[in-house]
Amino acid sequence: MDRPPIGTSTQVGSHEAVVIRPFAEGHSVAELTRLLHRAYASHAAAGQTFFASYQSVEDTAHRAGQGECWLAFQAGRLVGSVTVAAPYDVPEGYPAPARVGSFWQLAVDPAYQGTGLGQRLLALAEDRIAALRFAQVVIDTSAEAVELVDWYRRRGYRAVGSWRWAVTNYESVVLLKELAPGGSGW
């Protein structure tokens, strides 16, 4: 699949391109937390309490520190994020292979949803995991978030089991995808 280069995307609210770069000194964990809350608010309103919809600034810092945190900006405004981890230490009993990569905190500001930014962040996560020499990526999401599960399925993910996290109010579907060696360049 061809991936758009960093710095290009559909433009919302500005004539500047969306630029994706690693979290660095000077970036705000509080701002990232607010983005996560906004991005997951519609799920919370539908009764699916994703951890990202209510996590604290400290939780965000901890989760971002468990991997490579990438941020998407347009005109200096934070509009998206994803945190990539490879290897991902799967919890005992989690229905996935032991040597996989994963990502979390995939979030797109509601004003940018539907612009392709989520797909760009997903491609970046998959490509980073493949570049780190992991052949599979595993994630989980609410089984009740049918549109989100379908979004992942259309992108090559398949259900491999279920899981229940103590920090959510739903059963998660665990999804796995085989990756191309070395990634494809995002």
Q: What is the pLDDT at residue 14?
A: 59
Give the model's pLDDT for residue 180: 78
Q: How far apart are CA 110 and CA 113, in angstroms?
A: 5
Residue 5: band (very low, low, confident or very high) from pLDDT cuts 50, 70, 90: very low
Helix (H) or strand (E) holding 146: helix 146-154
Of 147, 131, 143, 135, nearest to 169 (Cα)?
143
| pLDDT for res 9 | 44
* Whether residue 56 has pLDDT greater than 90: yes
pLDDT band at 168 (very low <50, low <70, confident <90, very high): confident
And the tokens for 178? Answer: 């085989």
pTM as predicted: 0.86
**With contact defined as beta carbons under 8 Å apart, do 32 and 71 qualify?**
yes
> 86: which 2 tokens?
């490879």
Residue 12: how many other CB atoms lie within 10 Å:
16
13 domain residue, yes or no: no
Q: Which domain holds residue 146?
A: 18-178
Helix axes 57-64, 29-45, angle to 10 degrees: 100
The domain that holds 138 is classified in CATH as 3.40.630.30
Question: Quick check: 184 pLDDT over 60?
Answer: no
Pairing of strands 68-74, 100-108: unpaired
Confidence of residue 183 (pLDDT cuts 50, 70, 90): low
* Calpha distance 127→36 (Å, rounded): 22
Q: Could you tell me the pLDDT band of residue 39, with boundaries at 50, 70 and 90? A: very high
Rounded to an integer, the average pLDDT of 140-146 is 89
pLDDT of 170 over the 60 cut:
yes
Q: How far apart are CA 93 and CA 118, in angstroms?
A: 29
Q: Give the burial class of 89: count Cβ atoms within 10 A of its Cβ; 0-12 exposed, 13-18 middle, 19 or more buried.
A: exposed
186 is a domain residue: no
How far does CA 91 lie from the centroid of its chain? 19
Q: pLDDT digit string (tens) for 73-120?
A: 999 999 999 999 999 988 888 998 888 999 999 999 999 999 999 999
Work out how many domains the chain is built from and give that number: 1
